[in-house]
Amino acid sequence: MAVMVKRAYKYRFYPSPEQAKLLDRTFGCVRLVYNRALEARTRAWAVDRRRTSYVQSSAWLTEWKRTDELGFLNEVSSVPLQQTLRHLQSAFIAFWDKRARYPRFKSKRRSQASAEFTRSAFRWREGQLTLAKMNAPLAIVWSRPLPERAEPSTVTVSRDAAGRWFVSLLVEDPTVTPLRPADNSVGVDVGITSLVTLSTGEKITNPRYERADRRKLAMAQRALSRKEKGSHNRAKARVKVARIQARVADRRRDHLHKLSTRLVRESQTVVIEDLSVRNMLKNHRLARAISDAAWSDLRSMLEYKAAWYGRTVIAASRFYPSSKTCSACGKSNNAMRLHVRMWTCLGCGREHDRDVNAAKNILAAGLAER
């Protein structure tokens, strides 16, 4: 029996002034509880070498609510506060398993404002969503329909730096089913000029959305720098910068979704290169272009969509010299510089396009590792 896939559907909504005020207060309380619990757990380890758990931090939350200093925590739903403690526990587990860095404190300016509500903290009735401690449902713009008879199990409300409000509904989606098996596999070489080059020889141009809006963004950032800190005009200028950045991010994400969906639908196996993007960003000449290409986001989309649709994604070793090895005879050309885009193999005389040759080698290396 097929396992039902849980999928998040994200929509924009427009809160009333009262709803916005309550959600702002909830975001602040979520951030405070997370930071207090992180501080307490860090101190417990530093002083007593004692590892604490979610259960202990939940008991701390109960004690904090009883104090005069933090009594305002009772004014918001308790569920998002408990959920942020669970997220902190997950962050510690990832750190202990050496999958992530030590948890960091949430910042009012830099961290995303969000709150997670489980089934006991919202009411879903006839397509309308009402959160705990609210008297009216949210005014959601249903840009696409939910699956038929879908019942949200978790609701996440967020506000981005541009001031836009979003609600994400986690539902079981019966429309996500494995695709028919395909006969082909494809190797994918990522780049800057061409976002991806396929082993079939096809090149998909990098839209470079950040570069397209760079001048507009620079002007908005200069205007922001001239505003007095703490002023109302500075706040408005900050939102203007955030809106430009959000537009770039939205267009980039849309392009990556379309590309990743196409690759997963067309190929049974997709082989990519296991790049260390974090280390590559240390190259200050290419850091902006690499960030704009968002290779990590593309890989993430490929992996979870492959899991949805019964496909396979393989990450070939990052240490394999895919660009410098002839895909026809296997001879390596170690003297080739980065600016060389076309080269001829000294072993077999085959002429190669650097990126297409790399994609072919990535495909062969990935299939060999299976």
What is the band of 258 on the pLDDT scale with cuts at 50, 70, 90? very high
Mean pLDDT of 320-344: 85
pLDDT digits 0-9 by tens, 7-38: 999 999 999 999 999 999 999 999 999 999 99
Strand partners, 8: 170
Active site residues: 189, 273, 355
- φ/ψ of 347, rounded to 5, equals -85, -50
Give the separation between CA 229 and CA 141, rounded to whole angstroms: 35
Kind and range of the H or E element at 70?
Answer: none
Question: Using the 8-state DSSP alphabet, how is residue 179 labeled?
Answer: P
Strand partners, 116: 156
Q: Sketch the domain layout of the chain as residue ranges.
A: 5-173, 179-205+256-370
116 within 8 A of 77, measured Cβ to Cβ: no
Give the separation between CA 22 and CA 128, rounded to whole angstroms: 19
**The pairing of beta strand 140-141 with beta strand 5-13:** antiparallel
Give the separation between CA 6 and CA 147, rounded to whole angstroms: 11
**The pairing of beta strand 165-173 with beta strand 154-159:** antiparallel
| pTM beyond 0.75, yes or no | yes
Q: In the chain, which residue ranges form alpha helices assigned H by DSSP?
A: 17-48, 54-65, 78-96, 209-212, 214-226, 232-266, 277-280, 287-293, 295-309, 354-369
DSSP assignment of 129-171? EEETT-SS---EE-SSPPPTT---SEEEEEE-TTS-EEEEEEE
Mean pLDDT score of the chain, rounded to an integer?
Answer: 93
Give the separation between CA 325 and CA 358, rounded to whole angstroms: 8
What is the band of 309 on the pLDDT scale with cuts at 50, 70, 90? very high
Q: Which CATH number does 179-205+256-370 carry?
A: 3.30.420
Question: Using the 8-state DSSP alphabet, how is residue 104 labeled?
Answer: -
Give the separation between CA 233 and CA 25, rounded to whole angstroms: 23
Contacts of 145 (CB under 8 A, 6+ apart): none
- Give yes or no for residue 2 having a pLDDT over 80: no
pLDDT digits 0-9 by tens, 210-236: 988 999 999 999 999 999 998 999 999
